[in-house]
Structure 1
């Protein structure tokens, strides 16, 4: 399978900058798979799973929390606020975040509105699902 350049960047670090065979991410319009030669493309990302197939056939999985994907003739770039490889996910921390978010859904405050609590719950559940998959 042909490869293309994929760069995944968060504000804290560059998670990946190498040749890959395929990447699948969730956009606001649904999941999209990118292969070499994909048409130029820009889209906002949702909270979800990122699957990367490496040239050796290995699959890397990460939790991703929004951002943007850009595809052009130079490769694919994913910019996101948060991305964790499956093996980096702390299940205990994710479950605590889920409980806290559920609490604030039932007891909203000025700083923890229902919208913020819902977002935090989605991120926590995404991490839990990816860890347990």
Structure 2
């Protein structure tokens, strides 16, 4: 299977830097997949599950927050605010985060505070799903 160069970066670390055969990221319109020779694209990433298959066929998954994907001239770059492997996720903390954010939504705050709470819920839910998928 053909490969393409991929770098997946967050402010605190490089998650992946190498050749891969496929990449799937969460976007506003659903899951978006890339393979070698994909057309150039810039895409907004939303909280959810990132999946990549490296050149050896090993699948890696992670929970990602907001970010961007750029595919240009056959090379892909993913920049996200946060990224966590399943084994790095504290399930109890993620569940607490989701519950707190839901309580904030019920408090009928400003539109900005509601948007922040919705983003926290989305991130917490993606972490919970990735933790369960990674077991």
| TM value normalised by structure 1 | 0.91
Structure 2 match to 1:39: 39
- Residues 31-110 of structure 1: matches in 2 within 5 Å? 31-108=31-108
* 1:56-80 per-position Cα deviation (integer Å, ceiling 9, x unaligned): 2211001111211000125100011
Structure 1 position 121 matched with structure 2 position 121: yes
Q: Alpha carbon RMSD of aligned pairs, Å?
A: 1.6
| TM value normalised by structure 2 | 0.89
Unaligned runs of 5+ in 2: none
Q: CA deviation at 1:95?
A: 1.1
Moved over 3 A (4+): none
Structure 2 match to 1:6: 6
Greater Cα offset, 63-72 or 98-107? 98-107
**Matched residue SS, 1:53:** strand
* 1:13-67 per-position Cα deviation (integer Å, ceiling 9, x unaligned): 1111111111001222322111111111111111111010122221100111121
Unaligned runs of 5+ in 1: none
